[in-house]
């Protein structure tokens, strides 16, 4: 069975992430979202909050059979533990490329049995990132087009917005 893992910070999950999930589901009979406990940047939401928001967003969108787990440490160790053969990542602009390229080659070096698979962003989400959504909400903008309702509410609560 082709098992895949979609890792990331998901701080918070956006429609860009969810679009990657829906497309990855067509390629892999088993897909798991893995929320990293210690992302590169200080997260706005705790690990438990990021996991819960991903779960609620999936259910709000009627996406079934995609469990959400959390992990710390090396992604490749998590992948091996779960017996996955592919790690799915999304690619937006060229700015994503350098980091993704470096990570994919490092992971292959650590374990050649786990392949990195890149799904190109949907045109309408090519600009969308968790950081942009946080910025929009921080300045009172409407983020309905970017994130599910439960995420927008969580952002409003977290940022103390009315």
Which residues in this chain contact ligand ADP in the complex, by CB under 6 A? Answer: 8-10, 16-17, 20, 39-40, 89-92, 96, 121, 125, 128-130
The contacts of residue 157 (CB under 8 Å, 6+ apart) are none
3, 23, 80, 92: the active-site residue? 92
Minimum distance from residue 95 beta carbon to ligand ADP (Å): 10
Is 17 among the residues known to form the active site? Answer: yes
Minimum distance from residue 162 beta carbon to ligand ADP (Å): 27
Residue 29 — φ and ψ, nearest 5°? -65, -25
The Cα–Cα gap between 30 and 149 comes to 26
26, 40, 41, 112: the active-site residue? 41
Is 92 among the residues known to form the active site? Answer: yes
User: How far are the Cα atoms of 46, 81, 113, 150 from residue 53, in angstroms, in the given order?
Assistant: 11, 24, 31, 7
9, 30, 57, 130: the active-site residue? 130
Give the residue numbers marked as catalytic: 17, 41, 92, 130
């Amino acid at each position: 069975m082709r098992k895949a893992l979609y890792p990331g910070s998901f701080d918070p999950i956006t429609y860009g992430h969810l679009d990657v999930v829906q497309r990855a589901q067509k390629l892999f009979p088993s897909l798991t979202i893995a929320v990293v406990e210690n992302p590169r940047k200080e997260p706005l939401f705790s690990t438990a909050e990021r996991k819960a928001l991903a779960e609620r967003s999936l259910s709000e969108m009627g996406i079934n059979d995609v469990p959400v787990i959390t992990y710390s440490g090396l992604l490749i160790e998590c992948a091996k533990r779960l017996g996955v053969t592919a790690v799915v990542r999304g690619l937006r602009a060229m700015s994503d490329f350098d980091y993704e390229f470096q990570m994919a080659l490092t992971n292959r070096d650590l374990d050649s049995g786990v392949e990195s698979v890149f799904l190109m962003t949907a045109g309408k989400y090519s600009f969308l990132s968790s950081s942009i959504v946080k910025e929009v909400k921080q300045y009172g903008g409407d983020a309905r087009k970017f994130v599910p309702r439960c995420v927008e509410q969580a952002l409003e609560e977290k940022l103390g917005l009315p």
